[in-house]
Amino acid sequence: MNLPGSVTIVEVGPRDGLQNEPDFVPTERKIELIERLAEAGFKRIEVASFVHPKAVPQMRDSAEVVGRIRRQPGVVYSALVPNEKGLERALASGVGEIALFVSASETHNRENVGMATASSLEGFRKIAETALAGGIRIRGYVVTAFGCPYEGTVPPENVERIVDAYRSLGTHEVALGDTTGMANPSQVSRMLDRILPRLGTTGLALHFHDTRGTALANVLAALQHEVTVFDGSIGGLGGCPYAPGASGNVATEDLVNMLEEMGIRTGIDLRKLIDCARYTRGIVGRSLPGHLATAGMIRWAGDPTNTEDPRQNVPGQRPK
């Protein structure tokens, strides 16, 4: 296989994961999780969402979270921004990157933000101008790029139009999101055959959910197309309130483990990452879909680095 030697993992759990939890996660816990993730080696972390608190109450403390993080040099802390008011709050808090989002499915976009896709894109124009003038990076999500819970198959032409629109806005990166976990490796390959030639200098990231257990297989298909930026969510947290049945993102620790075992460098300390997953399991108070927090790193009896206490792998137990 023709695979890249290294990739970048964008950790989205503090935003995309925790926003879907039924109970509010205390601000202090969110901050500690973000700081632990930075210490594990992540250079890009999506930490907050500046949507209206009534829409996403879990993110009502986003300004405080962003303002109180102990910033690690070289780490980009990003936030989701829905409109100009959200941008004002994000910029005031000191984020280094904003993320815009629009659905490739008209029905999902109306359910999600109450407007047509074209209207969403037009509303991004002023946001993008302000952000770029301030030297802020912009990521553009294409939500439901591989399938919609309301419409089913999403025409690739819809995705192409949004990618073109993001490029015209000057976004630094486009992220194709499998919001419902409907993608399969063949579909991913076909989509990338169409999208990659359109990007020019714009970066590409892929955001897979593991709803039907295909996320890591889809990552492998993308790697074979030389994609080198992938989103992950610690523990497999996540979902989408406007995509019925959509469970969490691919678990970051499982993704990093697979890549490192394949010889693809991530720059992430897997042992510290597993500790982050166990910490996350503790703060949400339940077992999570990720495997590594329970299984641990690949070790064998004669391995001198095999120092883990297997009792730490009990689901739901807080790390010491």
Q: Which residues carry out catalysis?
A: 240
- What would the DSSP string read from start to end of 96-126? SEEEEEEESSHHHHHHHHSS-HHHHHHHHHH
CB atoms < 10 A from the CB of 311, how many? 8
Q: How far lies 278's CA from each of 170, 205, 254, 282, in Å? A: 38, 26, 13, 6
Q: How many residues does the chain have?
A: 320
Q: Interior CA angle at 148 toward 142 and 151, to 5°?
A: 125
Partnered with residue 79 across adjacent β-strands are 48, 98
Distance CA 146, CA 249 (A): 14
Q: Under a CB-based contact definition with an 8 Å cutoff, are residues 134 and 102 in contact?
A: no
Could you tell me the two tokens for 230?
């992938």
Distance CA 217, CA 219 (A): 5
HSE-CB for 296 with a 13 A CA cutoff: 14
The residue with tokens 């939890």 is 21
